[in-house]
Structure 1
């Protein structure tokens, strides 16, 4: 572990976990993959260097064989369904949403099924039946219909509901945020803010909450701040005895066995 003071609160919390003989489970999801890019290469390089399992949420309508070929050379990477085309169908006064109640449910579900089949075909060895709603939003009436399409789990952002119609494996730490004016493009969050969020999530788990902690990245949108935090966080936790980075498939199986 580094001596950087920014990480000190995390070091102290992990020391408490280690002293108690506890191990915190983490997992990693990156959104919006479409095709091979330099940013994707950097992402996969980090995952490989730190031997950290990674789930890549791929946009089915915009991807193709090129991404399949690129990921075939990567180890420890799984592929989830990131909606269909990542297009907003909500009116301007509402938050962006592709999987909302703004269209007929049959149309939305039809697209999701097409996305499922597309990625299952392109990534047969890496595909996991997980839906990642674009912008982490989905109309509640659609969730109960996902298992009929073949989905076995869903991943959004924030604390997972204790009772859901499909197993949830959510993310909780988003490395990207808005600037001080809350406008303009998203930027990497300050590192001390992210470390504070991590400590809060770990304290919650220490008290008995079973949910794994999910790291959320967006390789295509990262600035230098976001990349530096991601690399630093993996380095700080990769070989710590109080942290276990788990693949999504294992965590979903674990969750299903305890429900």
Structure 2
């Protein structure tokens, strides 16, 4: 199935419109062996990595670890990654299940805390837990310090730009391990065909990766890193573009 991705990349190269690919990994809070594997993978392939960090439970240990990883940057993964929706609804932290002022205050605190911990490595982009946020909160995000939002799926117009992800490595409804390489390649090929000039994001969750997930990342980066049909870029550059 790699052939369908290579064909899509060759089409991009022939048109002189290389795809902008980027990589987001969710749920970081502290140094772990799995985080070491993630950062080693980024360094091995020279690919920038955005860590969506949960502010409430993180601190200096993660900041010190990332000081040794120049390809890493940090986005704001909600506040506590805590579900406030009832069992009858999908999990959501950034919904209308609490007072809007409380939600915005937490996001402001998360943005401030990560900026203090990570300095210029912190990018003012909100990654909503579970990729869900109530639309009525979106107009309030700029005053809370955010310049963009990153969820999953095609980007939509709104008060802030969306820099989204499109290929999720994990089979959340099944094995909760890495999805098959054929399915992932099909998703990536579809994104390359459908997203036009919008950035295309790869979404990983290092804490739950199995061998299949790690293997896919190595295969993907080997296949794409020097291909003229794409360029790997970091979230800070995407935010400026």
TM class by shorter chain equals over 0.9
The answer to whether 1:234 aligns with 2:189 is no
Which of 144, 152, 158 is the matching residue for 1:164?
158
**Post-superposition CA distance 1:39-82 (Å, at most 9, x none):** 10010011111111111000000101000000001012110000
Task: Give the SS at the match of 1:60.
Answer: coil
**Post-superposition CA distance 1:172-231 (Å, at most 9, x none):** 1101123xxx45x622111001101111111124xxx22110110000011111111112
CA distance in 2, matches of 1:95, 1:217: 20
Which of 6, 9, 33 is the matching residue for 1:14?
9
| Aligned length in residues | 241
| RMSD, matched Cα | 1.1
Task: Give the SS at the match of 1:61.
Answer: coil
Which of 53, 63, 81 is the matching residue for 1:86?
81
Deviation at 1:20, TM superposition (A): 2.6
The answer to whether 1:221 aligns with 2:208 is yes
1:251 aligned residue: 238
CA distance in 1, matches of 2:10, 2:100: 49
1:173 aligned residue: 167
CA distance in 1, matches of 2:104, 2:194: 35
CA distance in 1, matches of 2:72, 2:4: 30
* Runs of 4+ more than 4 Å apart: none
CA distance in 2, matches of 1:82, 1:188: 22
CA distance in 2, matches of 1:12, 1:60: 40
The answer to whether 1:199 aligns with 2:199 is no
1:96 aligned residue: 91
2:110 aligned residue: 115
Q: TM-score, normalised by structure 2?
A: 0.97
Deviates more, 1:243-252 or 1:11-20: 11-20
Deviation at 1:166, TM superposition (A): 0.7
Which of 63, 70, 75 is the matching residue for 1:75?
70
CA distance in 2, matches of 1:160, 1:17: 20
Q: TM-score, normalised by structure 1?
A: 0.90
1:257 aligned residue: none
Task: Give the SS at the match of 1:25.
Answer: strand
The answer to whether 1:55 aligns with 2:60 is no
Query: Runs of 5+ in structure 1 lacking a partner?
Result: 1-5, 255-259
